[in-house]
Amino acid sequence: MIRNHQPSPFNPGYGRKPAVFGGHRQAISELSAVFETLDFGENQSVLVSGLRGAGKTAMLSLLQDHAMGHGWLVISDDASRGLMDRVMKSTIPRIRNALSEPAHNRLSSFSIGQFGVSWEQAGAAREAAPLLRHDLKALSDALEGRGGLLITIDEVSSGRTRLRELSRFALEIQHALTSGANIMVVFAGIQVDLNELLKHEHNTFLRRSRRLDFRRLTPDETRYVIAETTSLGGRSVAPAALDHLTSISQGYPYLIQLVGDYAWRRTPDAPVISIEDADYALERGIKAVQDRVISRVYDDLSERDKDFLRAMAQDEGRTRIADLKARMDAYDQYVQVYKRRLIDTGYVQSAGHGYVEFSLPYLDQYIKSLIDEEARGSRPPADPWGDFPPPRI
């Protein structure tokens, strides 16, 4: 007998689109309004920052969908080595080939300048170093005010090559904007990196961007995502199970998808997700989020940041700043600097005068387990092939 097996509508993983996108309503509606009206206001350049797994890439995909729905052209890439080349040699030609006939013709007719001339030389490499700014302006003009260009750049970070490349790229966009092109550019990256990046003087353009900071969803937004996603998948969730899944996820987008998925898969053919299903998701969800997300979040930090967090993890609950000073054997000023940094990046929060506590759920448990492991002395696991060495010939 074939049972009524419903595939899970939850979608855990990096860069995976959620079936239901929770939160950020105002930002989404303001940015989407630009796709309709071309009235940019403060939304010409946007910088999305946040912790890993907070939904930055998902936001970029959502914006891309909205933009394309309004007839915009989309350029999306990562801020990795070769960005400029990829965009100019592969993305822009692809977009150009996919343009509607009239837009395509308009593009060619502008082309006394850089764009068309180089393109009309079929197959030939472009000469005279074409500039991205001209391509962007030409594409924008070809849309004749019926749309614009959305450029999304993910994984922006502060590594040195990336920094140089990104500054060059941003400069081209800035020139295209100055010449009146309809462009919205959205950058995304993890916050610890962006804070570093913004310190560099070359990045005025990025510094002036509208900042969206992604942290956790609110409890209401979280409940909405879980309930709506479940219902899209054709099932419902018992009220107690919904409460439980909401508390386990702590509003952390990656974890919302993970626990929803585990709970769903325990009884995929039952009509309702039960409290037992939610319970089943608890341990697995937390284990998985620690392995896949929290460990990476922790690794993003500098050694000194880690020392600070490890010193905090000695307490249950909040930590006295005075104790931290003693544990780290550090001056007050030094401790204050690290405290500020970690608060800014969403790992830690103030907890009353003279106290701090972890603000990222499950980070303290993760660090405690690391400390325990070290205390036990991490012996390398026995090699199961030890008794079967490879024969020599």
| Contact positions with ligand ATP (CB under 6 A) in 139-198 | 190
- What gap in Å lies between CA 205 and CA 212, rounded to an integer? 15
How many residues in total does the chain contain?
Answer: 393
* Strand positions, DSSP E, 6-158: 45-50, 73-78, 149-154
Interface map 218-247 toward ligand ATP (x if CB under 6 A): -------x----------------------
Binding partner selected for residue 256 from Mg ion, ligand ATP, none, CB under the kind-specific 5 to 8 Å limit: ligand ATP
Contact predicate 174/205, CB 8 Å: yes
Strand (E) or helix (H) holding 295: helix 295-299
Pick the binder of Mg ion from 57, 246, 290, 359 (CB under 5 A): 57
Q: Which CB, 115 or 362, lies closer to ligand ATP?
A: 362
Contact predicate 104/95, CB 8 Å: no
53 is a contact residue toward ligand ATP (CB under 6 A): yes
- Comparing CA positions, the residue from 20, 95, 92 lying closest to residue 58 is 20
273 is a contact residue toward ligand ATP (CB under 6 A): no
DSSP annotation of 291 reads I
Q: With contacts defined by CB under 5 A, how many residues of the chain interact with Mg ion? A: 2
Cα distances from 319 to residues 31, 51, 191, 273, 299, in angstroms, run: 40, 22, 24, 38, 22
Choices 20-28, 72-80, 165-173, 311-319 (CB under 6 A): range interacting with ligand ATP: 20-28
- What gap in Å lies between CA 62 and CA 76, rounded to an integer? 12
Work out how close the CB of 188 gets to Mg ion at its nearest, in angstroms, rounded to a whole number: 7
Choices 50-58, 74-82, 120-128, 260-268 (CB under 6 A): range interacting with ligand ATP: 50-58
57 is a contact residue toward ligand ATP (CB under 6 A): yes
Q: Which CB, 196 or 323, lies closer to ligand ATP?
A: 196
Work out how close the CB of 246 gets to ligand ATP at its nearest, in angstroms, rounded to a whole number: 13
Residue least distant from ligand ATP (Cβ): 55
Q: Which CB, 16 or 106, lies closer to ligand ATP?
A: 16
Phi, psi of 81 (to 5 degrees): -55, 135
Strand (E) or helix (H) holding 236: strand 236-237
Site residues (CB under 6 A) for ligand ATP? 11-18, 21-23, 50, 52-58, 190, 225, 253-254, 256-257
